[in-house]
Amino acid sequence: MLNDYNIQVQQLFLEMMLNDAESFVRVQNIYNPENFDKSLKPAAEFIKTHYDVHGSLPLHQQISATTNIKLNKLDDLPEGNLSWFMEEFESFTKKEELSRAILKSYDMLDKGDFSPVEKLIKDAVQISLQKDMGTDYFANPKERNDRYFNSGGQVSTGWPSLDKILYGGFSRGELNIFAGGSGCVTADTMVTIVELPIIPYS
């Protein structure tokens, strides 16, 4: 963990985000342009605004033309940089947010406004990244499918063709939702689906 998040480190954070959009997406929930040094803040704000409006990160040329701040392109970053980036950016963000919260708290306490102080400090301390982004469907798909479909506990839907697709039927303890385009399900089928028994969790 770094002790000093100087301008060079903060600039590297922005450059890594621009180099790999996944980096920005992973830290988006704690990304705050206010945390960056005033010399980099216009670029940090432009990145956030561009992403919020267009759903994509800006080009280096756009940032340079708009803010007059030049960020470097990073090529061929070695493996493991994403985890380093996430760990250090989380620490940087927490440090900056906590410092700002303490300064705000001091002003509040000086004015006798005590009630918001606890929440202000607590929110800053609890800043963290969502490192688990859910199921990675590209990681070991065969192992995941085998574990899912061989776990047992399937209950027949009543339709052999549907049971075959579902590897034996519904799995216990799971919510199953069926969706289709308009007009693709007949009234008789809809009634049958509605009348399926509730499967108790076991």
Contact between 26 and 133 (Cβ < 8 Å) = yes
At residue 200, φ and ψ (nearest 5 deg) are: -70, 145
For the chain, what is the radius of gyration of the CA atoms? 25
Cα–chain-centroid distance for residue 96? 21
Q: Give the separation between CA 158 and CA 191, rounded to whole angstroms.
A: 13
CA trace torsion 8, 9, 12, 16 (10° rounding): 180
Global pTM reads 0.59
User: Residue 28's closest CA among 100, 130, 112, 120?
Assistant: 130
Residue 36 burial (10 A CB sphere; 0-12, 13-18, 19+): buried
Residue 42 burial (10 A CB sphere; 0-12, 13-18, 19+): middle
Q: What is the pLDDT of residues 8-50, one digit of tens each?
A: 999 999 999 998 888 898 888 889 999 999 999 999 999 999 9
Strand partners, 170: 155
What amino acid occupies position 195? E
Q: What is the pLDDT of residues 100-142, one digit of tens each?
A: 888 878 777 777 777 777 777 777 777 777 554 455 555 666 6
Sign for the pseudo-dihedral over CA of 184, 187, 189, 193: positive
